[in-house]
């Protein structure tokens, strides 16, 4: 007889959050797509502990363990920050981090007729036709992606400075999200051990 996987729904939520982290990395040079994937990640990651609790709502050993974890989470700046970020995303607006762009070298020999080349305020290289009109067309200039590096930093809410007393003040959005996801993965592993021990 096959053993039913413990925390299968929670594991699915973890997979979903990993997917959006991967998409954030892939779309780092496309600011709008990056923001959408960040929003999706924050919402997906925040739901992991909710699903974890729902799956184990009748397990007394889990409930006692999770109450201690809840206190731990409420005491950490990064984890409180992620709650705020989700609230901004759901109740106010799409998260819109600041960006820092490094452009190594872009040389354009000839701009196609009727088009302009611009670097947007977010650092994205784009081809533009009919600028500043209702018919404006923008196309990401992916041929220059190798020359551009974009880093994103949380502004609203303000980026956290510590994670369990470790300084993370200079961490960009992707590093903070990976740190958060790593913490959630550890919680799920620990929960798995607690639930397995309760069933033996």
Cβ distance 29 to 148 under 8 Å?
Answer: yes
3-state SS, 129-177, equals ECCCCCCCEEEECHHHHHHEEEEEECCCCCCCCEECCEECCCCCHHHHH
pLDDT at residue 200 in the model: 60
pLDDT at residue 132 in the model: 86
List CB contacts of 193: < 8 A, sequence separation 6 or more.
none
Q: Structural domain boundaries of the chain?
A: 8-97+155-199, 100-149
| pLDDT per residue rounded down to tens, the chain (200 residues) | 234 445 788 999 999 999 999 999 999 999 999 999 999 999 999 999 999 999 888 888 999 999 999 999 999 999 999 999 999 998 888 888 999 999 888 888 888 888 999 988 888 999 999 988 999 999 999 999 999 999 999 988 999 999 999 999 999 999 999 999 999 999 999 998 988 876 66
Q: How many residues would you count in the chain?
A: 200
pLDDT at residue 198 in the model: 66
List CB contacts of 83: < 8 A, sequence separation 6 or more.
46
CA distance 79 to 134: 43
**Paired residues of 102 in beta bridges:** 149
* 31-55 and 60-74 helices, crossing angle to 10°: 140
CA distance 15 to 5: 15
pLDDT at residue 5 in the model: 46
């Amino acid at each position: 007889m096959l053993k039913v996987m413990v925390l299968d729904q929670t594991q699915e939520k973890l997979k979903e959050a990993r997917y959006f982290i991967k998409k954030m990395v892939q779309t780092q040079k496309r600011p709008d797509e990056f923001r959408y994937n960040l929003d999706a990640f924050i919402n997906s990651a925040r739901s992991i502990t909710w699903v974890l609790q729902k799956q184990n709502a009748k397990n007394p050993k889990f409930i006692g363990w999770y109450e201690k974890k809840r206190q731990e989470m409420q005491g950490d700046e990064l984890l409180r920050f992620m709650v705020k970020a989700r609230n901004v995303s759901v109740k106010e607006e799409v998260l819109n981090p600041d960006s820092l762009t490094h452009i190594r070298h872009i040389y354009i020999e000839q701009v196609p007729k009727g088009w302009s080349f611009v670097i947007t305020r977010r650092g994205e290289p784009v081809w533009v036709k009919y600028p500043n009109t209702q018919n404006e067309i923008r196309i990401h200039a992916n041929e220059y992606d190798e020359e551009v590096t974009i880093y994103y930093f949380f502004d609203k809410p303000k980026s956290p400075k510590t994670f369990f007393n470790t300084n993370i003040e200079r961490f960009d959005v992707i590093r903070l999200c990976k740190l958060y996801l790593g913490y959630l993965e550890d919680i799920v592993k620990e929960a798995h051990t607690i639930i397995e021990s309760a069933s033996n």
